[in-house]
Amino acid sequence: MKLMVVGGGGREHAIIKKLKENPEVEVIYALPGNGGIAADAVCVPVAATDIDGIVDFAVSEKIDYAVVAPDDPLCLGAVDRLNEAGIECFGPTAKAAEIEGSKVFAKGLMKKYGIPTASYEVFGSAGEALAFLETAPLPAVIKADGLALGKGVTIAGTREEAFAAVRTVMEDRVFGKSGDRIVIEEYLEGPEVSVLAFTDGECIKPMVSSMDHKRAFDGDRGPNTGGMGTVAPNPFYTEEIAQRCMREIFLPTVAAMKAEGRTFRGCLYFGLMITSDGPKVIEYNCRFGDPETQVVLPLLESDLLTVMLATSRGTLAETEVRFSDRSACCVIMASEGYPVKYKKGFPVTIPDDLLPKVYIAGTAPAPDGGIMTSGGRVLGVTAVGDSLAEAVRNAYEGVGRISFENAYYRHDIGRRALAAKVD
């Protein structure tokens, strides 16, 4: 089979490596891929947001199956357009992807169908939002409605910060149209858990749970990033919580999307907070998480392509989705200064024996034939172990053997999970 994967980060590298385990796969094209992905796929210089370019390529190369991984092309209707052109795809339609593309839509869905989430208000003008914040409880959580590269959420501890967040989004319009409306919601407390799940629109099969580390610096300090590391499974996600999530969140969400005429097929990502009041949804994503994928897929024992085809074809109920009971840890090596400002263009050296464990993100081909840094998150090193402690130790051992100028990583990925005492 000829496959195509849209996207070019560490998540896409993990998907490509897993897909390649299936002997039926002859070739994988990555649009656009990156310098490191080029070792495992044919990189084609078509941007992940160039929907016409993606469809033209898929049709001219007679692609058998396409995987659309990032949020932007999904929300722009890449799957709809590929399907219209006769290309079978993994991923939701634009109407279903709105579960991530619009927080106002997602919150409305949860309210209508009684899915537990933080209470909230929606505002279409800065004036009304500022007036509400004069007396709203603190901290206040302010979210731009649309996609904002993971930067659209502010947790404001003071009124001044809350007012500033509203002005940045609605008056300075730093996220453009994504800031036409905002959601202001109740602040929730508790450990966070990411659960990715395969769904064909009827049946939903959750993957092993994971824990992201979103803040830039050790001790969960500093600005929010795309994610500096992950571990799986997440010790806060007990069997009892998992059963509640299935009953109160996962099945109701899939049924709600179907009832709204937005049947969701693909990977649905639940960002959950385990509050004293039970699990609640913080956010939905319409795709695999990055870097959650880099710890979840290495633990998948079933064939990824078979499972993906089952989600597209509506046969997930009959398809086995089995995970190993081992643990995994991924440590992201970034460029110093990420997510704010950083230098790039430095050569990256990875020992050959480590390559199977490394998922490469922000890199470009270097003039000497190697690769060089070209982005904030450069790569992730994943290790699998019989225990979480072993996985964490091995991931850091790998990090210690990779070098590039200006490299930065957190030293405490997995620490909170290792310290967790869960009843």
**Residue span 145-164 as binding mask against ligand GLY, x where in contact by CB under 6 A, dash where not:** -----x--------------
Q: Which residues pair with 330 in a beta bridge?
A: 230, 382
Asked if residue 100 binds ligand GLY (CB under 6 A), the reply is no
- Here the contacts of 298-302 (C-beta below 8 Å, separation 24 or greater) are 298/14, 298/18, 298/328, 298/382, 298/384, 299/208, 299/232, 299/323, 299/324, 299/326, 299/328, 299/384, 300/18, 300/207, 300/324
Structure tokens at 365: 């081909």
CA dihedral 85, 89, 92, 94 (to 10 degrees): -20
Asked if residue 292 binds ligand GLY (CB under 6 A), the reply is yes
Structure tokens at 32: 């656009």
- Report the nearest approach of ligand AMP to the CB of residue 18 (Å): 24
- Encoded amino acid at 145, one letter: D
Q: Going by C-beta distance under 8 Å and a sequence separation of 6 or more, which residues neighbour residue 221?
A: 215
Sign of CA dihedral 79, 83, 88, 93: positive
- Report the nearest approach of ligand GLY to the CB of residue 99 (Å): 13
Asked if residue 185 binds ligand AMP (CB under 6 A), the reply is yes
Asked if residue 72 binds ligand GLY (CB under 6 A), the reply is no
Identify the residue among 187, 217, 346, 396 touching ligand AMP (CB under 6 A).
Answer: 187
Q: Which is nearer to ligand AMP, 127 or 223 (CB)?
A: 223
Identify the residue among 55, 141, 170, 360 touching ligand AMP (CB under 6 A).
Answer: 141
Listed residue (341, 340, 355, 347) closest to 401, CA to CA: 355
Asked if residue 290 binds ligand GLY (CB under 6 A), the reply is yes
- CA–CA distance, 215 with 272 (Å, rounded to integer): 17
Q: Which residues pair with 351 in a beta bridge?
A: none
Considering only residues 193 to 232 of the shown chain, the ones binding ligand GLY according to CB under 6 A are 212, 227
Contact partner at residue 63 from ligand AMP, ligand GLY, none, CB < 5 to 8 Å by partner kind: none
What ranges make up the beta strands (E) of 240-277? 266-275
Asked if residue 413 binds ligand AMP (CB under 6 A), the reply is no
Considering only residues 260 to 279 of the shown chain, the ones binding ligand AMP according to CB under 6 A are 271
**Residue span 197-236 as binding mask against ligand AMP, x where in contact by CB under 6 A, dash where not:** -----------------x---------x------------
Q: Which is nearer to ligand AMP, 187 or 408 (CB)?
A: 187
Q: Which is nearer to ligand AMP, 148 or 255 (CB)?
A: 148
Contact partner at residue 142 from ligand GLY, ligand AMP, none, CB < 5 to 8 Å by partner kind: none
Contact partner at residue 289 from ligand AMP, ligand GLY, none, CB < 5 to 8 Å by partner kind: ligand GLY
- Report the nearest approach of ligand GLY to the CB of residue 267 (Å): 11
User: Nearest 5°: phi and psi at 153?
Assistant: -115, 130
Using an 8 Å Cβ cutoff, are 169 and 194 in contact? no
| Residue whose pair of structure tokens reads 């490469």 in the numeric block | 360
- Encoded amino acid at 249, one letter: I
Using an 8 Å Cβ cutoff, are 372 and 345 in contact? yes
Q: Which is nearer to ligand GLY, 285 or 319 (CB)?
A: 285
Identify the residue among 285, 294, 363, 382 touching ligand GLY (CB under 6 A).
Answer: 285
Q: Assess whether the previous peptide bond of 139 is cis (omega < 30° from 0).
A: yes
**List of residues contacting ligand AMP (CB under 6 A):** 118, 141, 150, 153, 155, 185, 187-188, 192, 214, 224, 271, 282-283
Residues that bind ligand GLY (CB under 6 A): 150, 212, 227, 285, 289-290, 292
